[in-house]
Structure 1
């Protein structure tokens, strides 16, 4: 199992569609006893939260966010945790909106910047 996500800052490696998370979005993760949660912001997202569970290298969580245009959206994501050769953490994500149409995949990686 990859190391704990607690206190790590992660960012997408590529932009998604407008109004969604992108390379300017930063996630601050927390983890304790199989629970995970994070706050995120940046780009088109004013404020976002995710909450879920971790079982080994699998994360299963729901997310909700407020966008710069004043709208909210929510969805479900399953991620696989991996460690990169340089020791940073990578999450390979499969997500689906629940509040609107759409689904996809994305990758977020650990960065050494300040949290949202």
Structure 2
């Protein structure tokens, strides 16, 4: 199993669709006893939260976010945690909106300070 996500900051490696999470978005993850949660913001997202579980290297969570235009949206995501050769963490994600149409994939990686 990849290392704990607790305290890690991750960011998308590329922009998603306009008005969504993008390369300027930062996720701060927390993990304890199989539970995971994170706060995120940046780009078009004013504030976002995710909460879910981790079993092995699979995260299963729901997310909700407030965008710059004042609208909110929510969805479900399954992510696979892997360790990169340089020691950073990567999440390969499959997500689907629940509050609107749309689904896709994304990749987020640990930000080095």
Q: Distance in 2 between matches of 1:37 and 1:112?
A: 20
Deviation at 1:60, TM superposition (A): 0.1
1:39 aligns with 2:36: no
What is aligned with 2:19?
19
What is aligned with 1:55?
55
Deviation at 1:74, TM superposition (A): 0.1
1:102 aligns with 2:102: yes
Q: Distance in 2 between matches of 1:92 and 1:69?
A: 28
Matches within 5 A, 1:80-91: 80-91=80-91
What is aligned with 2:30?
30
Task: Write the deviation string for residues 42-93 of structure 1: whole angstroms up to 9, x where unpaired.
Answer: 0000000000000000000000000000000000000000000000000000
Give the superposed CA RMSD: 0.5
Q: Extract unaligned runs of 5+ from structure 1.
A: none
Deviation at 1:112, TM superposition (A): 2.1
TM-score of the two chains, using structure 2 as the length reference = 0.99
Q: Extract unaligned runs of 5+ from structure 2.
A: none
Secondary structure, aligned partner of 1:74: strand
Secondary structure, aligned partner of 2:5: coil
4+ residue stretches of structure 1 with deviation over 2 A?
Answer: none
Q: Distance in 2 between matches of 1:35 and 1:68?
A: 29
